[in-house]
Structure 1
């Protein structure tokens, strides 16, 4: 588990491209028969991926958590972006197929990931944050998620936001999670952009062609930077940073947020004229 410490925006102004990528980009999310995780001191979020191929994978603790088991004081959100699979939670099995997700409440002791077909392995993308109480485990798919169509062709940002872990769908302590699907011909997400000082965010980009790239924009509105991203990579966004992007083709991304505020529309919008 890679540990990332908090970053002051005044320090980030001086980062090189290499340093930005080292501190904010998770380049490898999925590896065969492995769980790859990053632990950020920004709101203590843990994010990464589990890719079971030949064997089932158990979500184990590391010394970073100082806990008896991973979800002793945490909650977890999972969305499968690969082949069909299943998650075993303390002996109860949930089928989690492509673009299906699940919220797993605090206190679940065993979390076991499996693929139904090793030739088409599941790819479970994970977000976890601290939890103050236990809420019920709930499976979510595109049919029972909240769908919010946004954008227009002329602005190259026609997309649908699917809210999976959201107060109007299910209860969680602080984790919010969902998926945004851009339509053909669209490349922009979240522009005009915003910040939200009351919660942080992680973007995970996927369903990208081999030569497709996303220019992910970050930084304070008056001091922006970019990170060039490939398929199945994730980028950390502190609360003080904008988080937007433009792709060379359309793509899909999963957003995950944690912090003290779960109001999805509570954003500090930034006018285009104020970006630098």
Structure 2
């Protein structure tokens, strides 16, 4: 098995103002995470949040020790949220086996030990430090909390599915779910917002190979952008807005960690205020 870990250090907003396109992508875009027969992680210094992909390709992959944490197992002092964005597969941890269909989410509590991925799943991994062990839980699409938002008139009619969320279950820091755009809508979040209490990561998926999402980032009065392809993630610092518009159908998985688990804790920035 191949395990690859890339480290991303935190970037100050003043530094980001002077970045060109290549440097913005180097620091804030995580691509190439889904490789057959591999686990690839991006370990960030934003609340020590980690994103990654595991593609067992019909075989078996085990995530155990990760040198960057200097712990016996990766989850010794961490919790994890996993989304299956592929065909049916299984995840094994702490003596339990969980069958995951496409769109299902698995929460693993702190101390779950090594995690083994099997089958034809395409597993998106998120993880952050934890202070307490909450029970592991498989949350199927039928079990999530679903919220409809937006309007056709403003091109942001969307369905938000909440999985690792206070309305569904308890966790330490991790909050996770995903948002799908209705046909004819392109804006995933507008008005844009920031939340200084939490960082966030976005994984865009379900897109055609030729499609792209124009992801908006940066300070509200110093916005920047990234063109994002299918199965690429954006690492969003606390000082950055996060919004975007896409070509064709897409879904984005949002995952956050920080001082609280209040999904509504955000400071909106109206379009007229953006620069």
Q: TM-score, normalised by structure 2?
A: 0.97
d(CA) in 1 for partners of 2:244 and 2:88? 29
Between the two proteins, the alignment pairs up a number of residues equal to 271
d(CA) in 1 for partners of 2:104 and 2:252? 14
1:89 aligns with 2:89: no
Aligned-pair CA distance for 1:8 = 0.4
* Deviating 4+ runs (over 4 angstroms): none
Partner residue in 2 for 1:272: 271
* Counterpart among 38, 41, 57 of residue 37 in structure 1: 41
Aligned-pair CA distance for 1:91 = 2.3
- Deviating more after overlay: 38-47 vs 89-98: 89-98
Partner residue in 1 for 2:138: 139
d(CA) in 2 for partners of 1:157 and 1:130? 33
Instruction: Mark the runs of 5 or more structure 1 residues left unpaired by the alignment.
Output: 116-120
1:75 aligns with 2:95: no
Does the 8 Å CA contact 2:64/2:113 hold for their aligned counterparts? no
d(CA) in 1 for partners of 2:145 and 2:59? 34
d(CA) in 2 for partners of 1:29 and 1:243? 21
Aligned-pair CA distance for 1:54 = 4.0
CA deviation string 1:85-119 (max 9, x = no partner)? 0011122111011000111000111210001xxxx
d(CA) in 2 for partners of 1:169 and 1:233? 27
Helix, strand or coil: the match of 1:188?
coil
1:218 aligns with 2:222: no
Q: TM-score, normalised by structure 1?
A: 0.97
* Counterpart among 21, 31, 34 of residue 25 in structure 2: 21
Helix, strand or coil: the match of 2:23?
helix
- The two structures, once aligned, show a CA RMSD in angstroms of 0.8
